[in-house]
Structure 1
Amino acid sequence: MTLPDSGQLAGLHEALDQWFAETARDLPWREPDCSPWGILVSEVMLQQTPVVRVLPVWLDWMERWPTPSHLADEPSGAAVRHWGRLGYPRRALRLHAAAVAIREQHGGNVPDTYGELLGLPGVGSYTAAAVAAFAFGRRETVVDTNIRRVHARLISGSALPAPALTAAEMRLAEALLPPEQDLSVRWNASVMELGAMVCTARRPKCADCPVRSSCAWLAAGEPPPSYTPKGQSWHGTDRQVRGAVMAVLREAATPVPREMFEQAPADLGFAPSGVGIPLAALHRLNSAPEQLERALEGLLTDGLAEMHDGGLRLPA
């Protein structure tokens, strides 16, 4: 791998900066008046979740809880309930915990440095760097899956990045980051956008790429990946059962007796309406009793559910 010289790198910065200015998606968390809290919420929601699913949930959250203190005033179960079907609902608990920490330790204001952001509950290195950059204009090295894929193809000539983030990838990202603070923020955003919209994992739109003439992967003849990416399974998994149980708890106004999870609604003497609809969906999975038990116990252990009056509910 050969790094671009200073002139080539400046050309890449300029080309992507112009492309982003002309083609970037109009997203509310990119608006100049979006608060740092709104950007933090978007970054957590967007982890492993596409924009089209995040957008309505983000809008609902920002209307309900426009500041960290608004969310911190609510029980954590409210965050889980309004997380909807985004998946990985522990992210909702982490956001709630972060909101409480922001209110109690930072006067209700999202901290503006990487180190302070990293100190918030549930905030990892990527999220801390992204919020510092996109909310506060800091020069930070932001590296997500999309950015890693663009760097792998554009500079390293590989079809895909390594299965897990490596120190070499971080050094490459740091070397490519513009020295100018404002441009570094736009570079992070534009490379991320390129990976999401053009340099996609399965069907890259190379004809639409503004830096295709500099792409090492195209120059090498588009060699195939050195490994087969593992897709995330869903149907028949414990994750699917957990998601179905969470759908029941989100609809329930009162604790749900454990036997309702273990017996079909018809067997309990009521038709599928209200909470019965997600219950019916849960039972259509025909999961083994031990799998359902793992799901219930796992949700209790993770703090996504709690026992109350003999039934399960979202955490209070």
Structure 2
Amino acid sequence: MTNPSPDAALQDTLLRWYDAHARDLPWRRTRDPYAVLVSEIMLQQTQVARVAPRFEAWLERWPDIHALAAATPADVLREWVGLGYNRRALRLRECAQVVARDGWPRDAAGLRGLPGVGPYTAAAVAAFAFGEVVAAVDVNHARVVSRVCALGDAPPRVLAARAQELVPPDRPDAWNHALMDLGATICRARSADCPACPVRAACASAGAVRFAPRPAAGRPAVRFEDTDRYVRGRVIAALAAGDALPGDVGEERLERALAGLAQDGLVVRDGREVRLP
């Protein structure tokens, strides 16, 4: 009997670890492409713990792609309040309208044609919903592959090619989830618990992980409360709740936020009236 290849041994070890230690997340209990897409859009720049209850509430309100396609932009924005980056909500609704009309693209290449869907989101939906043998490379996935394969400062195309080579054809969904979980819980950006790592025997960096240097101290970081994004979020939340616009942020900042929101299609201005679209 021949020994498995190094890649096959790595796949088997990591998948057995994942089967025993996978994070129980609601979007992993379905292959519905709509639910997967909702989760992936919500998870962009938003923590898992914040997304989980909002994901379930969203699906309760709009259980399928056709229900979301029929929703108004204002209702979608109201449901999104608190998740941040509100343009994501409108892009998700636009996706629903395209899919309700044309049907689902069933591979990553086709999914990239949907509004606001980039390479990672397309690969994630393709792998998790349709079983395409494709690497969905988020920051955790990329970090693990880079360390295990000693890719260091290799160009992104090299890392992407190696990540794709590693995807097992029989379990692409579990493989992508496993790499994400390993990077989120053990092989983290600023710490690596190599003794607890299931693939340490196959990892070129085991026990010698190099961490990127922290940025040198410079000008003090800008507080979130002092950014335009903070004011934009306050405006959307106020309109969603039927409250007055925030009057404590300064007239100039409020006007700048309103102008940007109107340009992005997130509010409608009619004279002095401001409302959700």
Q: TM-score scaled by structure 2?
A: 0.89
Match of 1:73 among 70, 75, 87: 70
Separation in 1, partners of 2:69, 2:206: 49
The number of aligned residues is 272
The alpha carbon displacement at 1:290 in A equals 2.8
Task: State, as a whole percentage, how many aligned pairs show the same letter.
Answer: 42
- SS, match of residue 190 in structure 2: coil
Q: Does the alignment pair 1:240 with 2:230?
A: yes
The alpha carbon displacement at 1:232 in A equals 9.3
The alpha carbon displacement at 1:185 in A equals 2.6
- SS, match of residue 274 in structure 2: strand
One-letter amino acid of the structure 2 residue matched with residue 305 of structure 1: V
- SS, match of residue 85 in structure 1: coil
What is the correspondence of 1:67-216 to structure 2 with a 5 Å cutoff? 67-106=64-103, 110-156=104-150, 158=152, 166-178=156-168, 180=169, 182-216=170-204
Separation in 2, partners of 1:48, 1:116: 24
Q: Deviations over 1:230-266 (max 9, x none)?
A: 99962311111111111111111xxxxxxxxxxxxxx
Contact 1:157 1:216 in 2 (8 A): no
Q: Deviations over 1:143-163 (max 9, x none)?
A: 1111111112221264xx78x
Contact 1:157 1:215 in 2 (8 A): no
- SS, match of residue 164 in structure 2: helix
One-letter amino acid of the structure 2 residue matched with residue 237 of structure 1: T
Q: Which residue of 2 aligns with 1:11?
A: 9
Q: Does the alignment pair 1:60 with 2:57?
A: yes
Separation in 2, partners of 1:30, 1:12: 22
Separation in 2, partners of 1:309, 1:68: 35
Contact 1:157 1:218 in 2 (8 A): no
Q: Superposition RMSD on alpha carbons, in Å?
A: 2.5
Q: Deviations over 1:246-299 (max 9, x none)?
A: 1111111xxxxxxxxxxxxxxxxxxxxxx25xx5xx445xx4433322211111
Q: Which residue of 1 aligns with 2:251?
A: 289
> Bigger shift: 287-296 or 73-82?
287-296
The alpha carbon displacement at 1:223 in A equals 2.6
Would the alpha carbon gap of residues 229 and 54 (structure 1) be closer, same or farther in structure 2, given more than 3 Å must change? farther
The alpha carbon displacement at 1:173 in A equals 1.2
Extract unaligned runs of 5+ from structure 1.
253-274
Q: Which residue of 2 aligns with 1:250?
A: 240
